Amino acid sequence: MDAPASLRRLIAALLVVRASGHLLDSQRRYPQWELPNAELRQLLDQGVGGVILLGGSAPEVALRCEQLQSWARLPLLRCADVEEGVGQRFEGASWLPPPLAIGRLFGKAPQQACALAERHGRCTGREARALGLNWVLGPVCDVNNNPANPVINVRAWGEDPSTAAALAAAFVRGVRAEGVLSCAKHFPGHGDTSDDSHLALPLLPHSRERLNAVELPPFAACIAAGVDAVMTGHLVLPALDAERPATLSKAVLTDLLRHDLGFNGLVVTDALVMEAISGHYGPAEAAVLALEAGADLVLMPADAQAAIHAIAAAVEAGRLSLGQLEASAERRQRALASLPGPSLPGPSLPATSLTTANLIAELETSPAGALLGDEILPSEILNSETLISEILAASLDRQGGVLAPGPGINLVRLENLLQAPQAVPRAPALEAPAALGYRACLLEPRSPSPWQSEANAPLALERLGEGPVLLQLFVRGNPFRGHSAATEPWPAVVGQLQACGRLAGVVVYGSPYLWESLQAVLEPTIPAAYSPGQMPLAQALALASLVQGQAPEVGVGARDAGIHADFTD
């Protein structure tokens, strides 16, 4: 017997499904997760209450948010994983440096770091709101105290609890100041793991006392700062629940988060399609277990229709109470009601009306951090390029001499040649060395061309050709990679090139841990630099420091760096 329509609508409102930021089905980047428009429209008409977006240009996403809301029965939660600014996911908006860039500054300049973290949040919230997004899935509250962590890494705000707590809370204040919802993740802490929960179910074998001291302080700080939502982590904590991962554990979500930490906002699962959950539970049962544990919202169920049916059956069987679901729906409605602007018929935009044409004009003519409304802060504070260059300049590290001109080889390690936003046309990592006579050789981990099996001489130099080698390494932890590049033989490569006198310079973009391992073997005269960012502006500033023999001054932008980077307009 079918559940009553009112019950199915109530349940549907608690689901958040994946949607492409592109308008057409043929443009979907990940069709295995991103629903086709016909199915998406059907679910929204059934009352599904949220969408998580990925892909598309900023103006396209603004149009997409209007479209999705027009298909929906009720005001939608429209969210995205924009931990490094809206431009991390949507072309044309601001791609900000990763949080750990500010986290590593905190120890020597805590006030500056907190101010930058809040501006990071304000820029992210302001641009999210401009595009029609009303929920930022950040900050990451995981304490990255495990350098081998394959998935958190530079996404964390700190490597110790006090740093992560102070900066994550500052980010929350910035996002909320722009009228956008925030979300602390991945509760109760994914920092000290060596597995990626996108691929496996990690184990966190720590006592409650250790959790209180290390993992929980950033979440407590964000709750005190008024964070709107907390996202669960797909990991097992035997000290709290030996049987079920945190996402499905009442001991974690209800007893620890609700009762002990006193959180009264939205509890949302991490994506249920991730292997840590989908590899152990069916799509229907996982959704039921998450709600039983105390979650309010189910993010990316593997089968939304099956989840709705299973949750309805669980209510009718007495596993779930109607009152619990109504309380979750009330928390969802309360979060939406806190946002500025109209809820229907269109997206929750600021009082100043935004059209797609206006957005395009703003993006083309204005600093990317000052898209809408009256400027509460001075324009130089809202200007995202100023913010980006300040963070990058403050976190840039360099040593050694000046990069000598070629001819030579620019060996660039990328994660995936087919998906490399760092290697846009006219990227400084390619153009600047080319201007000095270095020809590019692009390498990804799966490529066998320059490698040989000798431990102390891993590069097949005869395949690279003659001349000095500039080594540029784009390495960081990322979801679905399953590693943090710690297994790649870069210290041995540096030693090999130095031994034969062919190492012209080194630049590391991303992981501070790789940079530290290379510093231990680099000869002091070799020009070398580290930037936590991988975006074109990070490349411009890092390479400028090699060419000029010193780090650029704080606040220097791409146009002033002396490197080909004018494409960042």
Read off the pLDDT of residues 260-311 as tens digits, 9 standing for 90 and up: 999 999 999 998 988 768 777 887 899 999 999 999 999 999 999 999 999 9
Q: What is the pLDDT of residue 141?
A: 97
Q: How many domains does the chain have?
A: 2
Residues 328 and 440 in one domain: no
The residue among 338, 358, 378 that closes a domain is 358
Q: What is the DSSP string of 76-115?
A: PEEEE--TT-GGGTSBTS--PPPHHHHHTTTTT-HHHHHH
**Residue 318: left (phi > 0), alpha (psi -120 to 50), or beta?**
left
Identify whether 234 is a catalytic site residue: no
Q: What is the DSSP string of 31-62?
A: TTTSPPHHHHHHHHHHT--EEEEE-SBHHHHH
Q: Which CATH number do you get for residue 314?
A: 3.20.20.300
Residues 448 and 507 in one domain: yes
Three-class DSSP labels, 389-457: HHHHHHHCEEECCCCCCCCEEEEEECCCCCCCHHHCCCCHHHHHHHHCCEEEEEECCCCCCCECCCCCC
Question: Is residue 370 included in any domain, yes or no?
Answer: no
Separation between Cα atoms, residue 216 and residue 187, nearest integer Å: 8
Question: Is residue 379 included in any domain, yes or no?
Answer: no
Q: What is the pLDDT of residue 283?
A: 79
Separation between Cα atoms, residue 172 and residue 196, nearest integer Å: 25
Question: Is residue 383 included in any domain, yes or no?
Answer: no
Separation between Cα atoms, residue 203 and residue 194, nearest integer Å: 9
The residue among 317, 337, 358 that closes a domain is 358
Residues 130 and 178 in one domain: yes
Tokens of 25: 């089905």
Residues 65 and 173 in one domain: yes
Q: Which CATH number do you get for residue 493?
A: 3.40.50.10870
Read off the pLDDT of residues 311-367 as tens digits, 9 standing for 90 and up: 999 999 999 999 999 999 999 999 999 998 644 333 333 333 445 556 555 555 544
Residues 196 and 52 in one domain: yes
- Tell me, what DSSP letter sits at residue 363? H
Question: Is residue 553 included in any domain, yes or no?
Answer: yes
Q: Which H helix or E strand runs over 70?
A: helix 58-71
Question: Is residue 378 included in any domain, yes or no?
Answer: no
Whole-model pTM: value is 0.89
Q: What is the pLDDT of residue 486?
A: 52
**Cα atoms in the 13 Å half-sphere on the side-chain side of 164:** 31
Q: What SS3 class is residue 337?
A: helix
pLDDT means over runs of 10, the chain (569 residues) = 87 97 90 90 97 94 96 96 94 94 96 97 96 97 87 91 98 97 94 62 84 96 98 90 92 97 97 78 89 97 94 96 97 96 42 49 48 41 80 95 95 78 82 95 74 82 91 76 62 95 97 94 97 94 90 50 32
**From 22, 190, 198, 564, the catalytic residue:** 198
For the beta sheet containing 266-268, the strands, ordered from the edge strand earlier in sequence to the opposite edge, are: 183-187, 229-232, 266-268
The torsion angle over the Cα atoms of residues 260, 265, 271 and 275, rounded to 10 degrees, is 0
Question: Is residue 64 included in any domain, yes or no?
Answer: yes
Residues 330 and 415 in one domain: no
The residue among 314, 340, 358 that closes a domain is 358
Separation between Cα atoms, residue 384 and residue 477, nearest integer Å: 24
Q: What SS3 class is residue 158?
A: strand
Candidates 287, 539, 250; CA nearest to 412 is 539
Question: Is residue 274 included in any domain, yes or no?
Answer: yes
**From 270, 296, 397, 564, the catalytic residue:** 270
Question: Is residue 427 included in any domain, yes or no?
Answer: yes
Residues 128 and 211 in one domain: yes
Residues 6+ apart with CB under 8 A from 454: none
Residues 345 and 402 in one domain: no
Q: Which H helix or E strand runs over 327?
A: helix 322-337
Query: Angle 177-394-550 (CA atoms, 0-180°, nearest 5)?
Result: 155
Task: Please give the residue range of the domain that contains residue 445.
Answer: 388-568
Residues 139 and 283 in one domain: yes
Identify whether 198 is a catalytic site residue: yes
Q: What is the pLDDT of residue 290?
A: 95
Q: What is the pLDDT of residue 148?
A: 79
Separation between Cα atoms, residue 113 and residue 169, nearest integer Å: 12
Q: What is the pLDDT of residue 38?
A: 96
Residues 351 and 397 in one domain: no
User: Is 419 in contact with 481 (CB distance < 8 Å)?
Assistant: no
Residues 462 and 333 in one domain: no
Residues 281 and 134 in one domain: yes
User: Is 250 in contact with 289 (CB distance < 8 Å)?
Assistant: no
